[in-house]
Amino acid sequence: MNNSIILKILKPVIFIASLIPLCLLIIAALNDDLGANPIETLTHQTGLWGLYFLMLTLAVTPLKSLGVSWVVRLRRMLGVYAFFYATLHVLVYFWLDQFFVWDAILEDIVKRPYITVGFTAWILLIPLALTSFNRAMKKLGRNWKKLHQTVYLIVLLVLLHFIWLVKADLAEPLFYLLLTLLLLLMRVPRVKQVVQGLF
């Protein structure tokens, strides 16, 4: 099966599958099944899925170097979903946690470091989402790639946000940090050659 056929099948499947976490959260909310602290559950889950999709976009380049070249065609869609879930994460905070009280939100952003870095990561995601279509790619030329390389900084800010948020039980965010560092390390030419030799 050639790459174009694989993509024609996979793209709509992955697009729909990427909405499943949101659908499950909506169903759980309608059934009053979000646990003792529904707002915390919504905040945590939307944030996690934003992180998952960011990591999936980082995994594209290593997969390409291993010969799975068609996965590159999915990267922008995965990136847009990362922004989508990150925006839901921020919206839950603005709306359900802070009730759109902007003075309180601004004070939180300034005074609480984990919110400062998390909000910064989301702001940095906005131009990536706005330039994720072909016309923007052509208009920006080489600058498009430079702009989208800020995803490396963004994912590290998200992980720092996660680490500062949990404070005590660091196992989960440190696991994602290690996985992210491995994905970044696989971009180093010598490491890439070693990994390619294993497959």
Is the pLDDT at 185 greater than 60? The verdict is yes
Query: Distance (Å, rounded) from C-alpha 102 to C-alpha 43?
Result: 18
pLDDT recorded at residue 10: 86
Percentage, residues of the chain above pLDDT 90: 78
Looking at residue 8, its pLDDT comes to 82
pLDDT at position 34 is 96
- Say if residue 74's pLDDT is above 70: yes
The alpha carbons of the chain give a radius of gyration, in whole angstroms, of: 18
Which pLDDT belongs to residue 68?
A: 85
pLDDT (mean) for 100-129: 96
Question: What is the pLDDT confidence band of residue 66, given thresholds at 50, 70 and 90?
Answer: confident
Task: State pTM to two decimals.
Answer: 0.93
- pLDDT tens across 147-175, in order? 999 999 999 999 999 999 987 789 999 99
161 and 119 Cβ atoms separated by less than 8 Å: no
Res 15 pLDDT > 90: yes
Give the residue-averaged pLDDT of 23-29: 97
Place of tokens 């996979």: 10
Sign of CA pseudo-dihedral 30, 34, 36, 39? negative
Q: Does the pLDDT of residue 5 top 80, yes or no?
A: no
- Residue whose C-alpha is closest to residue 108's, from 131, 67, 100, 37: 100
